[in-house]
C-alpha cells in the first residue's frame, strides 16, 4: 500500500477516509482522531461520530507498523480488513473500507445483543449490502448458556 510520495500508511488511510467519507458526510458527523498507545509504535483511531444518536459510531483503528485496519461499530462489532480486499465484499481495498463505512452510515446495520449482568455475552450483527448481508458473530467465552439473558435488538438509523 506504500506509495511514491513517502507517506506513512496512517497518512494514506487518513487521506482516503477524509476524501471519501468525511467530506461527504461532514454535515451529519463529528470526527475525532486519537493516538493510541498499544503494542505497536504508531496507532490511531479515527472516530466518525454521527449527530443522530440513533446511528452507529464508526471507529477506524489504523496500525502503521503492520499496516492493519480494524473497523469498530455498533455496541460490540469488529471487522479486520486486509489489503487484498474482497474479504467481506467483492471489491478491492480501500474501496471495501469505504463501502462498509457507507453501509453503516446509511443505516444498514442491525445488532442482536445478549446481556448477562449488564455485560454483552453474545452479539450477532448484520450489515445489509447490495448483494448478500454480512453476518458477524461475537461470543464471550465465559458464560453459561442455560442462564437467563436480556436480549436487545438495535436497528441503527441512517446518519442523514
Residue 4 in any domain: the answer is no
Better-scored residue on pLDDT, 14 or 2 = 14
pLDDT given for residue 145 in this prediction: 65
- Say yes or no: 130 and 62 in one domain: no
Q: Indicate whether 23 and 100 sit together in one domain.
A: yes
One domain for residues 51 and 67: yes
**92 shares its domain with 121:** no
| Residue 148 grid cell | 437467563
Cα(97)–Cα(16) distance, rounded to whole angstroms?
Answer: 10
User: Is 44 inside any structural domain?
Assistant: yes
Q: What is the largest CA-CA distance in the chain?
A: 57
Domain count for the chain, please give it: 2
Shared domain for 100 and 126, answered yes or no, is: no
Which structural domain, as residue segments, surrounds residue 57?
9-105
Q: Is 143 found in the same domain as 115? A: yes
Residues 29 and 48: their CA atoms lie apart, in Å, by 6
User: pLDDT band at 143, cuts 50/70/90?
Assistant: low
Share of the chain above pLDDT 70, in %: 92
The verdict on 101 and 116 lying in the same domain is no
Q: Using pLDDT thresholds of 50, 70 and 90, give the confidence band for residue 3.
A: very low
Residue 88 maps to a domain:
yes
Contacts of 24 (CB under 8 A, 6+ apart): none
Amino acid at each position: 500500500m506504500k506509495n511514491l510520495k513517502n507517506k506513512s500508511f496512517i497518512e494514506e488511510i487518513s487521506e482516503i477516509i477524509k476524501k471519501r467519507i468525511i467530506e461527504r458526510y461532514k454535515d451529519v458527523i463529528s470526527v475525532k482522531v486519537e493516538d493510541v498507545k498499544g503494542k505497536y509504535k504508531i496507532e490511531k483511531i479515527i472516530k466518525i461520530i454521527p449527530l443522530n444518536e440513533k446511528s452507529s459510531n464508526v471507529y477506524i483503528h489504523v496500525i502503521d507498523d503492520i499496516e492493519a485496519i480494524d473497523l469498530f461499530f455498533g455496541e460490540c462489532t469488529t471487522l479486520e480488513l486486509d489489503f487484498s480486499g474482497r474479504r467481506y465484499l467483492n471489491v478491492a481495498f480501500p474501496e471495501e473500507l469505504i463501502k462498509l463505512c457507507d453501509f453503516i452510515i446509511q443505516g444498514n446495520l442491525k445488532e442482536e445483543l445478549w446481556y448477562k449482568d449488564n455485560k454483552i455475552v453474545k452479539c450477532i450483527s448484520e450489515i445489509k449490502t447490495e448483494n448478500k448481508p454480512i453476518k458477524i458473530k461475537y461470543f464471550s467465552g465465559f458464560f453459561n448458556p442455560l442462564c437467563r439473558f436480556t436480549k436487545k435488538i438495535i436497528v441503527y438509523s441512517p446518519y442523514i
